[in-house]
Structure formats: structure tokens, C-alpha cells
Amino acid sequence: MRQIILDTETTGLDPAQGHRIIEVACVEMVNRSLTGRNLHLYINPDRDSDPEALAIHGLTTEFLSSHPRFEEVAQQIIDFIQGAEVIIHNAAFDLKFLNAELQRCGHPQFESCCVKITDSLLHARELHPGKRNSLDALCERYGISNAHRTLHGALLDSELLADVWLAMTRGQDTLLMEFDAAESVGGGGGRFEAFDPSVLKVVPANPQELAEHEAYLEALDGAARKPCLWRSYETVEQAEAVH
């Protein structure tokens, strides 16, 4: 399974107002392991960033002017995401910019270039309803260090999101599980083994432990001024044993 964690930085908030993409980063993950194969591009937007956006990403017009324009790198982005699930945090924001840029240079919509798009923000909201689910908040929640994130950057944010995604989506992978493809159900990568209770060692209570248990139950009876719940279960078990 190939997945791409993607992030962008932009000159502002709305492509309908002429704002452009200035940075794209894609981090590749195969079978839930980072491959180290990434795509990272700075892009010349042919315009200034809004002051608010510049304060977030710190990418100046002068710096970006020496980099290629989007139409020069569009096919490179399409080729990299081809055949993959693309994971984006707050996907609606990035997609409206990506689609505006692709349309401008005559390419198909971004969604048609990949297998699937997953919004990690929506996934986080399902897991943690009513809580903050920004990338910073999720890093804190899952114990992922983002101390080096003084400015937003597409590559750094993609790498952090990859760690967050793995933490959010990890399942139970240790309890009574065997990862042997040859023996797994349906040819998958892992299965639950049939549990054999005979392997458990039974250690019965000794007379002293039984006496201490009885004394503890009597103390509970006295405190509650009626038989405790454990006594009720014992009575039911004894009645069932008779019948």
C-alpha cells in the first residue's frame, strides 16, 4: 500500500483572489513505513504573499523568484502521486489550490491523478470529537516533538503529519497475533491465532489465601450490612451446581 503525505504553503487563503501555491511537499510511505523518497518543491508564484501568510511560512518573494513556476513542475507532482492514497490535513484547503493551479496549466483535477484522498483532520475529529485537532495539537497528543517547527514549512509539516497519521491509525499489533503471510487468513499480513486455554498455568489459592479472602468478604459484609456482591455470585454458582 503506497501512501503520500502532502502539504502546501500558499501566498494567502483563497485561489479565487489570485493566491498561489509557493511550496509543495510529498512524503512517501509504503506499507506504513517511510521510504525516505520525498518530493519537495519551492514554486515562484509571480506575486507577493499576504503579510499574514508570510509571517506563517517566511518564504519571501525574492527567495521564490529563483524557483520554477507551477506549470513547470505540475507533471512532476502528478507523476509522484500516481497510484497512491494521498493524505492531507484539512484537505479541502490544499485541494482548492492544487486544482486551481492544475486547471490554470491544462491538467486534470488532482483527485483524478491519485487513487484516493484522505483528510487526516476529519479522521482526527472522529477520534477526538470536541478537541483541538490542529497538527500542533495532534503532535502534543501523540507525543511527537515539533519543537523545531518555528515556521510552517510543507516538508516539515508533511513529515510531522506522517508521524501523527501512523500514531492515529496504529491498531493492536501484539496481542496473540502472528505475522506470517503463508498462514494468515485470506492471504493478509496478519491474523489472530486460535487461543488454547490449556497453555495457561492454573495456580490454585492455598488455605491461608482462602482464609484471608473469606475474612475480607466478611469485612465487606459488615461494612455494607448485607452480603456483598461476590457472595451473591457464589450463591448463584452453588445453586447451578446443584441443578
- Alpha-carbon torsion angle 29, 33, 36, 40, nearest 10: 30
For the question of residue 67 being annotated catalytic, the response is no
DSSP letter, residue 172: -
Contacts of 214 (CB under 8 A, 6+ apart): none
Q: What is the largest CA-CA distance in the chain?
A: 90
What's the CA gap between 136 and 133, in Å, rounded? 8
The DSSP line for 85-145 is EEEETTHHHHHHHHHHHHHHTTPPPGGGGSSEEEEHHHHHHHHSTTS--SHHHHHHHTT--
Contacts of 163 (CB under 8 A, 6+ apart): 139, 142, 144
Closest CA to 1 of 77, 76, 83: 83
The DSSP line for 190-237 is -EEPPP-GGGSPP-PPPHHHHHHHHHHHHHHHHHHTS--HHHHHHHHH
Closest CA to 124 of 87, 172, 81, 174: 87
- Of 107, 123, 152, 243, the active-site residue reads 152
**What is the set of active-site residues?**
152
